[in-house]
Amino acid sequence: MKYILFINILLLSVCVNAQTKITFPSQDGLTITADFYEGEKENPYILLFHQANSSKGEYKEIGNKLTKLGFNCLAVDLRSGKESNYVANETAKLASEKGLPQAYIDSKQDIEAAIDYAFAKNKKSVVLFGSSYSASLSLLIANKNDKVQGVVAFSPGEFFQPSLDIKQSIYGFNKPAFVASSQREYSYVFEFDSVIVSKSKTFFKPQNGQGEHGAKSLWKTCETNREYWLALMLFLKQFN
């Protein structure tokens, strides 16, 4: 009951914390732009990555709410994207101007650079939070990166075949994982259960509506957003 009360307060609260725009280099030197949602200095970082044709704006509602749960948050513009919530993807624009490849897999180096940037801030391992293609990349990277302590994956899938099979690549994944989807995606997403062996894993779909693809499930426009938030909050409490 106390968690339900808290989540209602969280979702009804007006988020007034202003995010700060920051930049850092990717592994190939491309300048990455991100929004920093600041919590307490010692709080662990959650790194927020968007879905296809999107941007850091996907997390305009989400970032501030996560800081209230005891985290610092970094919403990152990956080079494969476009815009979300009227927020343009600045990394993608710059990559296009420089003639750099912008396939989904090319964003892997941006995620790895974000991990290094956040880890350097307080020397604490981070949580990766991915949406659609970036959820798959988050699982892939976290599997062998000691700077990552857990993953939140909204609507992961096999977006890289035939060159890369995500389930095969993460077989034996043994870090805390929260994997969420819409109802219609669930049977497909649940196939990841067989390769994630962690004792701390949650596979979630909403019960009172279809839900959405990716992190949009947490937006207030999603009728089942409270279900997602409650399940996510229960998972995240192990990190702080």
Domains of the chain and CATH, by start: 2-239 (3.40.50.1820)
Model pLDDT, residue 1: 55
Which residue, among 47, 55, 62, has the nearest Cα to 15 in the 3D structure? 62
The span from the CA of 99 to the CA of 118, in Å, is: 27
Predicted confidence at residue 7, as pLDDT, reads: 56
pLDDT, residue 162, reads 95
What's the pLDDT score for residue 18? Answer: 72
Cα 21 from Cα 33, distance rounded (Å): 7
- What is the structure's pLDDT at 227? 98
Residues 218-238: b if buried by 16+ CB within 10 A, e if exposed: bbeebebbbbbbbbbbebbee
Q: How far apart are CA 130 and CA 111, in angstroms?
A: 10
Within a 10 A sphere around the Cβ of 4, how many other Cβ atoms? 11
Q: Which residues of the chain have pLDDT under 70?
A: 1-17
Q: What was the pLDDT predicted at 5?
A: 54
Looking at residue 197, its pLDDT comes to 98
Interval 5-53: pLDDT, tens: 555 555 555 555 679 999 999 999 999 999 999 999 999 999 999 999 9
- DSSP conformation letters of 38-64: ---TTSPEEEEE--TT--GGGGTTHHH
Pairing of strands 45-49, 72-76: parallel
Rg (Cα) of the chain, in Å, rounded?
Answer: 16
